[in-house]
Structure 1
């Protein structure tokens, strides 16, 4: 293993069963070595750092106390699972994190039996754990389910929906609230640990159960008063009244970095006969690595970095990112129009809206991890005359599709959707890929759906969104840097549903949507070199289609190819439907559609992902050549002429 520190205790742990055999006094050193191993690995691969460092001791304690994998451990979101991966037989591959063919940056069922539930979106852990726990209860199988959820994830309603139904699992369900950003309540040193240990002990719970049974024999008013007195007394000393009202037995807060506090409480909860239990653990993001402790936001997700200095590798200078271009364009629109406001779901820096926030704090809203609320909130703003931009990653907007349909589209409200991370996303893999937004938005009446071919087009499209007041409108753009094209000195309002021809030819037509335009132009050069005169069109709009332009291209070229960074059901499907409705298919039209394959693609370098998906210049050229050959060799030669 390529590191310059020794790990004698960690070297003895390949799977959690090994950890459970260690002397208790070795666990502190194990945690220290595990932390160093994680820092070393992420320094090589990049990835999520701060969150994982914060749960090192918690990972050790959980695997020490619970019988994983029989007891199901579910990490919410999953980006804090790197220490867990090291402890569960994957240490030898930990330096392949987020690389092609390597370990996922999140939990993944196909990767290990210790990952019982895949996660990369927030706030799903309690629902999933409730399912595991209830299934065991119904079947009589042994095993508990443990959900580890961060306090940021507790801002999503789904977590509370699950907790409201948790009684069905009985004592099979344990929820650990990892309070790591803004402490809901700080652990009050030894007193808090002592109280947590006492109230989770078998003796205390046994006494409490006996008193409960006695209280049930009292008249109803006295029975009710006794129950409230118990909850009030523990709520006053420890907090957690909300969780108690949802049916959980609350324990905490306790120091999540103190194994002497953590392990006894976890053991008590493991052995409890009570119903579902919530343990409130306070941790520090970046714990044990000074640069990450000092700047938790900058070290949440990192590039490769130097472990000694903490300095992250910088990408070579290049064009601005699409996210940055969007952010600057929206801030400019905000300067021109005081009705423009911006909404994000816990991603102000990820979406670039922190720039808008700095300029217009009163018109910026971060609603937490609550995409459904974000969309309907935006609909309310629009209905009252504001011009809201709802900036959400493509993969996260899926969580609010019902609200997009019912609260925005049906009511034809002018909500502007800025859809970042459209298309494939490299190291984050299938869970974060923006594969489906064109398909799920362009099927909706009243929607306008645009895709930027480059950063200059994105500026025009943001301006077009700002001025579009007759219904919902969306613009999609990818992760990563732009093409380097000069940005416009002033944005233009695009005509809705009007594409553009960027290269004129006669034989082959390539109809592009989004940033595959550059590959389309490369393919055109190669086809021209073969004597195949090629037109390249940037359609700009998936809905409404530029029917006039598409009809002309399909009827004046021998073969037409559509290309998009999205799944089946998107641009290609809409163009095929138009061709069918117009009877062009019957006329022998050679129309081919290039789109993402019908699979969930694993992480890799973006250029390799697109090559594997058949969405590069090579794929376009192959598609055209195959389509022409299918007619006949003679026809192919004729087309060249």
Structure 2
């Protein structure tokens, strides 16, 4: 009833509280309906509907800047800022992003996707406003999960020692993707222990009883127990840091939210408001299983079950399965993840090996150096991260793993083109930034057989290893695509040409499409599966290149700094001059689309590879 008339933030300022409550219910229904069709981040968005409504009700975006940490919880913000009618295109090619995008709206100030960045950006924005004499508040909305990230704590430390006009809204739902991990989370969700409050109250009661009007004073003590809890934990710590603290506030009580933010708005300096919300609020199935509905594919609203349930095995599933088997055989094997237990396939491992499983929270830098420490005494740590999040720990890869030649096993999930989440979540940079690090060995499996072989070799090998694999389901291997006897540093000749001296070099599942494309074209060529991206099998690569007239290198990774570049470097060092074409990803960030659409756009699917073969050879 109200939602159809809301197209800009100013539209909701005309509503009273009861009307806002009705609008809130409509938005939740709208989100459930749309996300059930497109997929998306549902749980966190249902949790912040009321909070987002109140912020837009009281503040004036974009003059007042809203910064959403991670950005996955910005759906209500998008609805209120003119994108309601495009929600059926959420996370689809040519549609609206599931994260803030400045190209979409002037109300999207920071483009986000990774965690814990909002406070640093907000501080910079507030300082720039002050320098330029610009008006308007800066409001950073950050979840308690993101507060486990070191960057957020660094920014808090900086902001608290200033007088800058920043409002930090701490959205406390006790969740990241799954349940939050660590002391910061426990601290944010702790009220003072009842026994301590009782002990303090009794001591004060004994003292005041001897005073005139003691009975009246004791009545106030009883009433004040709740206030004591609220003041002491966690508010007092934020106050001691230098923030003006408000809360905790019920994130689903409009009266309390409006009253609190009106007070917050009336004062200056760094302010922190703790708002407690329920992840999945308003959709019972999501409230009962918030981790499942953090990010979900299209689903049936009545049952909560996926509409297109896939039973095919993914590399993530296989990674978890292989690490379990390895841990059963070797008590020195442990697994580490950074708030991505489910996504990296470690859920079952975590149940079976609680003492040898470490979820360190949103802390990739810590995860990597923690693993290095573990490795010092003979422990073999498998660190399971998405490629996009490995970027956050790059210094540790060089400084701690590389320089120390640490026996750490990096399992890099979501490598290559990643569907639906767009530019912030692509796994296309890891080959380029890892291959330049000394001591590191990089492997790229094609399918299940060589994946299992590589895991075994990782465990046997003394030194840092990387296995990179994509999000897709594992495909059936064609004959001879992978070696029967995988060895680190050895390439595998899939097939050899008969008469035409054509050579195609690649790695990973792309090889399946290359073989299919060559078969369909009846194209005479040699195909070389690198298997190990570092160290390269220089002898095999050079010998096959010397025999060829033309060389085509295909990779689902960045062209700049990729394996094609490495092979050209090798050819240069050996003074080999041949016709070489590198077909890889261009120098750009990549749009929202399905994985198949992305492969098609960049001609890395079978049909695209056929085009490349026909145009080059």
Fold shared by both chains (TM-score > 0.5):
yes
Who is 1:94 aligned against? 87
Whether 2:555 is the aligned partner of 1:564: answer yes
Are 2:445 and 2:468, in contact at CA under 8 Å, matched by a contact in 1? yes
Residue of structure 1 equivalent to 2:291: 297
Question: Are residue 277 (structure 1) and residue 268 (structure 2) matched?
Answer: no
Give yes or no for the alignment of 1:591 onto 2:580.
Answer: yes
What is aligned with 2:247? 252
> Quick one: structure 1 residues 569 and 345, their matched pair in 2 at CA, closer, same or farther if it must change by over 3 Å?
same
> For structure 1, which runs of at least 5 residues remain unmatched after alignment?
1-7, 189-231, 629-641
Query: Secondary structure of 2:404's partner?
Result: coil
1:429-455 Cα offsets, whole Å, 9 max, x none, are: 121110111111111111101111112
Q: CA deviation at 1:558?
A: 1.8
The answer to whether 1:133 aligns with 2:126 is yes
State the 1:110 CA deviation: 1.5
Which of the residues 257, 265, 268 maps onto 1:262? 257
2:178 aligned partner: none
Task: Give 1:186 shift.
Answer: 7.3
Cα deviation digits, residues 213-246 of structure 1 (max 9, x gap): xxxxxxxxxxxxxxxxxxx979745632332233
- 2:526 alignment partner, one of 519, 529, 535: 535
CA shift for structure 1 position 523: 2.2
State the distance in 2 between where 1:334 and 1:97 align: 41
Structure 1 residues 395-474: aligned runs within 5 Å: 395-469=388-462, 471-474=463-466
Distance 1:429 1:493 in 2: 37
Instruction: State the match for 1:46 in structure 2.
Output: 39
1:504 paired to 2:493? no
Shift of the 169–90 alpha-carbon distance from structure 1 to 2, 3 Å rule, reads: farther
1:14 matched to 2:7:
yes
Query: In 2, are the aligned partners of 1:559 and 1:624 still within 8 Å (CA)?
Result: no
**In 2 relative to 1, CA 101–169 (structure 1 residues): closer, same or farther, beyond 3 Å?**
farther
- Does 477-486 or 450-459 show the bigger shift? 477-486
Alpha-carbon contact 2:191-2:229 (below 8 Å) kept: no
Q: Distance in 2 between matches of 1:33 and 1:105?
A: 20
- Give, in angstroms, the shift of residue 25 of structure 1: 3.2
Deviation at 1:543, TM superposition (A): 0.6
Q: Which runs of 4+ in 1 moved over 6 A?
A: 232-235
Alignment match, 1:309: 303
What TM-score comes out, normalization by structure 1 length? Answer: 0.85
1:21 CA drift (Å): 2.2
Match of 2:609 in 1: 620
Q: Does 1:23 align with 2:16?
A: yes
Give the Å deviation of 1:486.
Answer: 10
Distance 2:161 2:509 in 1: 49
Q: 1:462-513 deviations in whole A, cap 9, x for unaligned?
A: 11111111x21100000021003599xxx98732210111222142211111
- Answer whether contact 1:146 1:173 (CA < 8 A) is retained: yes
**Distance across 1 between alignment mates of 2:283 and 2:101:** 27
Which residue matches 1:5?
none
TM-superposed CA distance for 1:290, in Å, is: 0.9
State the 1:125 CA deviation.
0.8
* Greater CA drift, 609-618 or 249-258: 609-618
| Kept after mapping to 2: 8 A contact 1:464/1:493 | no
TM-superposed deviation, 1:173? 0.3
Q: How many residues align?
A: 567
Gaps of 5+ in 2: 176-185, 193-226
Give distance in 2, aligned partners of 1:53 and 1:272.
29
RMSD: 2.1
Match of 1:609 in 2: 598
Cα contact 2:50–2:254 (8 A) shared by 1: yes
- Residues of 2 paired with 1:10 and 1:354: CA distance? 39
Q: 1:330 to 1:492 in 2, by over 3 A?
A: farther
SS at the partner of 1:576? Answer: helix
**Aligned with 1:175: secondary structure?**
strand
Is the Cα contact below 8 Å between 1:348 and 1:366 reproduced in 2?
Answer: yes
Where 1:67 maps in the other structure, the secondary structure is: coil
* Whole-angstrom distance in 2 between the partners of 1:186 and 1:38: 31
The equivalent of 1:549 in structure 2 is 540
SS of aligned partner of 1:343: strand
